[in-house]
Amino acid sequence: MSFEDHLSISIGDHILHRARWNMRQPLIAGNWKMNKTATEGQVLAQAIRLGLQTSVVEVVLCPPFPVIPIVHATLQGSSIRLGAQNVHWEDAGAFTGEVSPVMLKEWCQYVIIGHSERRQYFREDDEMIRRKVLAALRHGLIPILCVGETLAQREAGETEGVVTAQTRRALEGLTPEQATRVVIAYEPVWAIGTGRAANGADAEKVIQRWVRGTLEELFGPAVAQQMRILYGGSVTPENITEFICRPAIDGALVGGASLRAETFLGIIHETARVKA
Ligand code: PGA
């Protein structure tokens, strides 16, 4: 076995995907948040599975914890990946109500970490988020790290400071190999669930200059170029083109529009058309 063969097998198939899709495979992830019962989740996952007509885009569904097993069963044999919406940093122990990466890895390949709703309502800070990212990576889960400024921060001209600090604090200390496995979602808080998506040029500027710029400082340009960065915040089938037509934006983290197969598939298929 050659060194390259060995490397591909040990690092996993996402490396192979990257090689095929001009380094970064487009990714559309659906964050169901606290929506869908197991029965409803099964119906939605099945409809997405049946309607999916592309392999250009990597698709990830992130249901609530109790809905994960039935969605896992529904997606058996398909290319659609599964993610969780949160994770604890310890493997096990006296942490009532928490779910560990060891439990998740039986079901999921991805986990959303540091979503603004967790930062805002559950007081997650940068240090907790950093520990969660490390724990996820330790167990082979791919973190989807969320960063983004609030409206007040944006209006005070603090977007650059907030986004660079959140990115840096969550990822500091990772090895370059660990960093290549991380996905980042830039989600301006004021755009989430408001129907007021960011302007594509603004999102591109934040992603290119401040998110990828920080990754370059931390891990060097070659690693930063391999890392996928998504946009999130009121993405719909109508506005997705505005974001994914930009080479710096590798896909989207979708909330509300991921709750209906028709709108979620619309976003995926438009992404496949533009990025193919
Ligand atoms: P939204 O949510 O698409 O409903 O704005 C996005 C997110 O919170 O990830």
Is residue 249 a contact partner of residue 219, using CB atoms and an 8 Å limit? no
pLDDT at 228 over 90: yes
- Tens-place pLDDT, residues 9-68: 334 444 444 444 458 999 999 999 999 999 999 999 999 999 999 899 999 999 999 999
Active site residue 187: yes
Closest atom of ligand 1 to CA, residue 257: 3
Q: Which CATH class is domain 25-275?
A: alpha beta
Instruction: Say how many Å lie between the CA of residue 187 and the centre of ligand 1.
Output: 8
pTM of the model: 0.92
Active site residue 115: yes
Pick the catalytic residue from 58, 117, 149, 187.
187
232 lines ligand 1 (CB under 6 A): yes
Q: What secondary structure letter does DSSP report for 253?
A: E
Question: Which of 25, 7, 2, 8 is closest to 276 using CA atoms?
Answer: 25
Amino acid at 123: R
Indicate which residue's Cα is closest to atom 3 of ligand 1: 255
Pocket test for ligand 1, best of 32, 121, 187, 263 (most atoms within 8 A of CB): 187
Instruction: Say how many Å lie between the CA of residue 255 and the centre of ligand 1.
Output: 3
Instruction: Say how many Å lie between the CA of residue 17 and the centre of ligand 1.
Output: 26
Q: What is the pLDDT of residue 9?
A: 38
Q: What is the pLDDT of residue 22?
A: 54
Instruction: Say how many Å lie between the CA of residue 202 and the centre of ligand 1.
Output: 17
pLDDT confidence tier of residue 6, bands split at 50, 70 and 90: very low
Burial class of residue 101 (count of CB atoms within 10 Å of its CB; 0-12, 13-18, 19+): buried
Pocket test for ligand 1, best of 235, 258, 264 (most atoms within 8 A of CB): 235
Closest atom of ligand 1 to CA, residue 253: 9
Instruction: Say how many Å lie between the CA of residue 237 and the centre of ligand 1.
Output: 13
Pocket test for ligand 1, best of 27, 31, 113 (most atoms within 8 A of CB): 31
pLDDT at 93 over 90: yes
Q: What is the pLDDT of residue 23?
A: 83
Question: Which of 95, 129, 125, 127 is closest to 111 using CA atoms?
Answer: 129
Pick the catalytic residue from 14, 58, 88, 115.
115
How far is CA 156 from each of CA 1, 126, 129, 167, 190, rounded to the nearest angstrom?
56, 21, 25, 19, 14
Question: Which of 276, 232, 273, 275 is closest to 256 using CA atoms?
Answer: 232
* pLDDT, averaged across the chain: 93
Is residue 82 a contact partner of residue 109, using CB atoms and an 8 Å limit? yes
Helices (H), the chain: 3-11, 13-20, 38-51, 68-75, 101-104, 116-121, 126-138, 151-155, 159-171, 176-180, 200-205, 212-219, 221-226, 240-244, 261-275
Question: Which of 208, 253, 254, 249 is closest to 228 using CA atoms?
Answer: 249
- Tens-place pLDDT, residues 129-183: 999 999 999 999 999 999 999 999 999 999 999 999 999 999 999 999 999 999 9
Please state the rounded mean pLDDT for residues 238-245: 98
How far is CA 41 from each of CA 46, 63, 70, 131, 252, rounded to the nearest angstrom?
8, 7, 8, 30, 20
Instruction: Say how many Å lie between the CA of residue 201 and the centre of ligand 1.
Output: 19
255 lines ligand 1 (CB under 6 A): yes
Indicate which residue's Cα is closest to atom 9 of ligand 1: 255
pLDDT at 198 over 90: yes
Closest atom of ligand 1 to CA, residue 116: 8
